[in-house]
Each structure stands twice: as C-alpha cells, then as structure tokens.
Amino acid sequence: MIRSIKKMFKSNYLFTLGVVICLAWILLAILAPVIAPYDPIAQDLTLRLQAPSAEHLFGTDNFGRDIFSRVIYGGRYSLLAGCLTVVIAGVIGTFYGAIAGYVGGWVDNVMMRLSEMILSFPSLILAMIINAVMGSNLFNTMFALVIVAWPTYARLMRSVVLSVKENEYVTASEALGASRLRILLKEVIPNSISSVLIMATTDIGNQILMFSTLSFLGLGSAPPTPEWGMMVSDG
C-alpha cells in the first residue's frame, strides 16, 4: 500500500503538486493565529490603503486592516465551508440515492422527481434565493450550498446502486434472509461509495468557489469576517 502511494506521487507530478498546495493551505488555515502578523479585523484608519511593504506584505484595505492576515484567516472560512458542504451534501445524497436505487418502483420515481426539481434551477441562482430569504451568514450560506449540491450526489449514487444491486452477493444476502436495511448498509452502499468519494474530492473546489461567489455578491459571511469572496468584492 505504501509503495503504491509512493509510486503514484513519483509518477504524477501534477497530483503531487496539487496535494502539496492543498496541504499548505490547510496548514495555513490551522496555524493562522501563529502565522498571521496582525489581527485580521483590527482597524487602523491611519494605515488605510497602504501599498505592500515589509510591515504589510499585501498592503492594507480601506479600513487599515492587514490584507495578508485576512487572506490567511480567510482560508479558515472558505476551506471549512467547502469541506463541510461537500461532506453534508455527500452524506445526504448518498443515502437518498441509495434508497431510491435499491427500493426502485414508485419510490424511486417520486424521490428522483424531487431531486430533478432542484436540479432544474441554476445552482447559483437557487443558492442566492435561499440565502437572500434566510439572511446572510456563514450557516445560511452553507445550508444554501448543501440544498443545491445534494441532488447531484443522489443521482450519481442511484445510478451506481442500480447496477450493484444486481450482483450475486446482494442476491445471496437476500436469499439468506438479510433485511433490506442490512443489505443496503452492509452490501450496497460500501460497494457503491467509491464513485461518490471521487466526485466529492473534485467538488470541494467548486463549493469554495460558489461560497466565495455568494460572499462577493454580498450574500455570504457578514462583515468584518475575513472571507476571500468578500475581500475581492471590497477590492
């Protein structure tokens, strides 16, 4: 196992570079209080709109706040929002799609029509509507992102389960008298989850971008939270 991982890192330099960059940002977010030279929300109007210098690597904003410190702290919010959104949406979509695909029949039809109703709206527009109705804060923004994200995982999981449930080990479990719930949890989902995990790893970046977009439009975290999208909007 360890040898195969080492071989993968050595043979795929882009993958290695991507892992290094991701780990670097995660470490920066975790160690933000240690690395950031200034308080990200502390204002000093005498230092407003300073150019980059040795004291302020990225300069200061219109409130005199250190932009470099705000970028580092902003990683906490953006990474947290992206990862939690993917985890929550992935869990909901996985179980929802697994139930629909395994049970089948009218249950499958009703459940999939519900997911298609959500997918029929443009993701960004629907997230904006939900966030505007509920109010702008971190929790509501993440809730809006989960609502627009879970149907994609559900449809992927359902398509995989439709083929997995025809395998012999599922038929053998049914013949042995195992309950549907046990078969679903022990046989179907574990053998279908790999596709969802692959999709989740690629979707984290999309959710971070979506979260930043909502913040850029004024529908994300409330000021003076140091969040990347809001910082771009202020700039």
Express each pLDDT in 66-92 by its tens digit.
888 888 888 888 888 888 899 999 999
Q: What is the band of 21 on the pLDDT scale with cuts at 50, 70, 90? A: confident
Q: Between residues 205 and 177, which one has the greater pLDDT?
A: 205
- What is the DSSP secondary-structure string of 57-122? TT-B-TTS-BHHHHHHHHHHHHHHHHHHHHHHHHHHHHHHHHHHHHH-HHHHHHHHHHHHHHHTS-
Q: What is the mean pLDDT of residues 217-229?
A: 77
Q: What is the mean pLDDT of residues 51-73?
A: 85
Q: Indicate the length of the chain as a whole number.
A: 235
Can you tell me the distance from the alpha carbon of 25 to that of 145, in angstroms, rounded to the nearest whole number?
22
pLDDT computed for residue 147 by the predictor: 92
Q: What is the mean pLDDT of residues 188-205?
A: 84
Q: Identify which of 14-18, 108-112, 165-169 has the greatest average pLDDT.
A: 108-112
Q: Between residues 14 and 49, which one has the greater pLDDT?
A: 49
Q: What is the mean pLDDT of residues 127-145?
A: 85
Is the distance from CB of 164 to CB of 192 less than 8 angstroms?
yes
Q: What is the mean pLDDT of residues 35-45?
A: 82
pTM value is 0.81
Exposure of 162 by Cβ count < 10 A (0-12 exposed, 13-18 middle, 19+ buried)?
Answer: middle
pLDDT surpasses 60 at 1: no
- Residue 208 amino acid letter: I
Can you tell me the distance from the alpha carbon of 163 to that of 21, in angstroms, rounded to the nearest whole number?
37
Task: Provide the CA 45 distance to its chain's centre, in angstroms.
Answer: 36
In three-state secondary structure terms, 137 is: coil
Tokens of 41: 């929300």
pLDDT computed for residue 96 by the predictor: 92
DSSP alpha helices (H): ranges in the chain? Answer: 2-11, 13-30, 32-35, 67-103, 105-119, 123-134, 138-164, 168-175, 180-183, 193-216, 228-234
Q: What is the mean pLDDT of residues 30-47?
A: 83
Q: Between residues 208 and 173, which one has the greater pLDDT?
A: 208
pLDDT computed for residue 10 by the predictor: 67
- Residue 60 amino acid letter: T
